[in-house]
Structures are given as C-alpha cells and as structure tokens.
C-alpha cells in the first residue's frame, strides 16, 4: 500500500491525493500523549554557523545520505495519514536546499485536502526575502525566525558568517506577504542580556510574538558560562513589563505570558530550568531519515532504509507506530549540572 502520490517537480496534481487514514491511536505514546506534530529537517546545511548549533568548520553530509524530496514527501505523507496535523520544516537552514519550494508545494496538497491543518517553517531569515510570497501561496501562514540580537556586530559574532541586513529584509518580506512572524531568541548570558528590553520592545512594536530559549547541552553548543536561566530573564522582564499568565499551549515546550495593556505574547522554552515534557506532542525527522522521538534522547529509528528498500508503505507505517510507542516520558538533560549532553549537533536533528 502506498500512501502518497508520485512526487512531481515542480508540477503537482491539481486534485488532493486521497490516502487511507489510520486510527489516531497509532500515534499515541506510552504516556498517552497524542503525537500530532512532526518537525522535519530537509537539510543539514546552513549559511550561518551559530555557535550553539554548529561547529565553525562543518563537514556536511554527502548528498546520497540526505533524503530526496520524493522520500521526504513519502514519509511526511505517511505521518499525515496516521494523524499528524502540523508539519514544521526545519534544517540546518531549510531555504538553502535546492528546489525546496517544490516540497512546500507538495505538502500544500495535504492542506487542501484538510488532512494537514498547519504547514510552517523555522528559518534564520537569510533567504526569506526571495521565498516569502511563494511560501504564502503554498498555504504557509506563519514562520519562526531565529534572531538573537538586533546588533549587527554581535550578530556577526554569534553566527560567525552572517549579516543582519538580509534577515531584517526577509522579515519585512514575510510581513508584506501576509505571514505571521514569531521571533525565537536563544538566551545567552553575557551576549544578549543587554538587549532584553530592546528585543522585546522591537517585537512588540511590530506585533511579533517572541519566544526565549535556554541553551541546550547538544553537540558543539556553548559551555555553561553562556547558560542564562529563563527564570532570571523573566524576573528582569517583570521589572519593566506587567506580565499576565496564560493557559495557552501549543502542546509543545513553550509557556506563554502576555504583556498587560499591549497583548504582546512572550514564550519561554526551558529545557534545563523547568522540564516541559509532560505535554509533548512532537517528534523530529532528520534529513537522513532518522526519526527522533525526543530531542534530548539518543534513541532513533531509521526510516530511510524503509523508504529506499520497499515501494509499499506498510513497513514504514509500522515502524513509525513502534517509534511513537517507545517515546520516552522526558528528555535526558540534567537541570542541576546542565549536563546530559547529546553528542549530535542541533543542526543534525533539526531545531
């Protein structure tokens, strides 16, 4: 049984592809959490070298090890048939992959059929200016842009290769295309502490949601000297802004507050200082076809071999179901020692 139509690049069938829908229980893990969200990395490559994500001198994967767009389509379509309703495209930097918009066009058929409720993107913003309009045409309604600083010199230091101007131009292009923008900022002690209020005010003035993220002990990540607990960051915010707790949740790691009087939404992702695993509804697919049920665990399932070794999708769906069933109750990061380091880099798994 094949779950997806043949991938055509760039043309797609005008009619949505009908696929058999498996019971939602197929994607319920041992903790009774329903997995409805897939983050899929389409490349390990990036045009930046952010110090908490990549080594400065990276050796990227050979092309043969990376899933083709057709293989990505097939795996994602299987997940959608099994109950995934939200698909986030990540990397590396997803927009540096050649012909990546063909993948977005392919996934748009699941939006049209109603099987997929949301197709979205996390990006560093460097390539967003030239892709924003087509992303919107494919049904993308919002994007997350990783941006840790508004200072051009500091941006160059954090990213090692980057220039701030293209990112700001990309954000403006996304706004013009009607995309809702959320800014993700990694909290870096001694690096962007002094910009806390400036970044918050900038996002508030433009109507952007803002999420702060603690550094995670992964791969070539920064040492403990750069770890800035969000409990401290939030206390500083509260010295200037009246923050109101909300019950809002995406089923993911962020906890949200709103700035009283303006309605600005601010999120906090705290993998070390406050475990967020109880409501986790997501899994991650690397660009090589490794399925990680948890960012902070080493367990994985190889799906590439299944899609390359068999034309039918029964084995693929069975493997997905088994992997979800083995999803752990929580990550392995140690909140006391800030240890539990995962050897693979953040860019390998997909942010």
Asked whether 156 and 162 are in contact (CB, 8 A), the reply is yes
Question: Is residue 37 annotated as involved in ligand binding?
Answer: no
Question: Is residue 277 annotated as involved in ligand binding?
Answer: yes
Question: Is residue 322 annotated as involved in ligand binding?
Answer: no
What 3-state DSSP class applies to 233? helix
Rounded CA Rg of the chain: 20
End-to-end alpha-carbon separation of the chain, Å? 32
Tokens 């009774």 identify what position?
32
For β-strands 265-269 and 255-259, DSSP reports them as: antiparallel
What 3-state DSSP class applies to 143? strand
Question: Is residue 53 annotated as involved in ligand binding?
Answer: yes
CA distance 323 to 40: 15
Question: Is residue 203 annotated as involved in ligand binding?
Answer: no
Question: Is residue 283 annotated as involved in ligand binding?
Answer: yes
CA distance 223 to 217: 8
What 3-state DSSP class applies to 176? helix
What six digits make up the tokens of 263? 């309605």
Question: Is residue 101 annotated as involved in ligand binding?
Answer: no
For β-strands 255-259 and 243-245, DSSP reports them as: antiparallel
CA distance 348 to 53: 9
DSSP 184-196: EEEEBTTTTGGGH
Asked whether 87 and 116 are in contact (CB, 8 A), the reply is yes
Entry field: residues in the chain: 351
Asked whether 285 and 303 are in contact (CB, 8 A), the reply is yes
Question: Is residue 92 annotated as involved in ligand binding?
Answer: yes
Asked whether 133 and 175 are in contact (CB, 8 A), the reply is no
Question: Is residue 138 annotated as involved in ligand binding?
Answer: no
CA distance 16 to 5: 9
Asked whether 274 and 289 are in contact (CB, 8 A), the reply is no
CA distance 67 to 287: 6
CA distance 283 to 295: 8
Question: Is residue 256 annotated as involved in ligand binding?
Answer: no
Residue list for the binding site? 39, 46, 50, 52-53, 88, 92, 122, 146, 182, 216, 277, 280, 282-284, 294
Residue list for the binding site for S-adenosyl-L-methionine? 52, 92, 146, 216
Residue list for the binding site for [4Fe-4S] cluster? 46, 50, 53, 277, 280, 294
Residue list for the binding site for GTP? 39, 88, 122, 182, 282-284
């Amino acid at each position: 049984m094949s779950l997806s139509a043949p991938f055509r690049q760039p043309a797609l069938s005008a009619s949505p592809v009908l696929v058999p829908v498996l019971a939602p229980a197929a994607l319920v893990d041992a903790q009774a959490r329903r997995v409805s969200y897939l983050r899929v990395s389409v490349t390990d490559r990036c045009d930046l070298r952010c110090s908490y994500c990549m080594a400065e001198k990276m050796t990227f994967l050979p092309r043969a090890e990376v899933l083709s767009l057709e293989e990505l389509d097939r795996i994602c379509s299987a997940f959608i048939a099994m109950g995934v309703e939200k698909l986030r495209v990540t990397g590396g930097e997803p927009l540096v992959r050649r012909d990546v918009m063909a993948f977005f066009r392919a996934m748009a058929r699941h939006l049209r059929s109603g099987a997929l409720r949301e197709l979205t993107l996390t990006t560093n913003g460097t390539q967003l200016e030239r892709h924003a309009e087509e992303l919107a045409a494919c049904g993308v309604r919002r994007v997350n842009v990783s941006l840790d600083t508004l200072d051009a010199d500091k941006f160059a230091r954090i990213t090692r290769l980057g220039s701030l101007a293209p990112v700001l131009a990309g954000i403006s292009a996304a706004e013009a295309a009607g995309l809702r923008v959320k800014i993700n900022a990694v909290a870096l002690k001694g690096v962007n502490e002094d910009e806390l209020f400036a970044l918050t005010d900038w996002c508030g003035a433009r109507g952007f949601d803002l999420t702060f993220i603690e550094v995670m002990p992964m791969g070539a990540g920064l040492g403990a000297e750069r770890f800035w607990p969000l409990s401290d960051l939030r206390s500083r915010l509260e010295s200037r802004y009246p923050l109101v707790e909300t019950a809002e949740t995406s089923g993911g790691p962020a906890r949200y507050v709103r700035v009283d009087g303006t309605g600005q939404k601010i999120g906090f992702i705290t993998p070390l200082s406050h475990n967020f695993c109880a409501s986790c509804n997501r899994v991650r697919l690397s660009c090589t076809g490794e399925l990680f049920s948890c960012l902070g665990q080493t367990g994985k399932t190889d799906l590439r071999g299944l899609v390359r070794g068999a034309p039918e999708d029964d084995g693929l769906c069975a493997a997905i179901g088994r992997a979800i069933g083995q999803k752990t109750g929580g990550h392995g990061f140690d909140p006391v020692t800030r240890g539990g380091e995962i050897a693979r880099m953040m860019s390998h798994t997909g942010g």
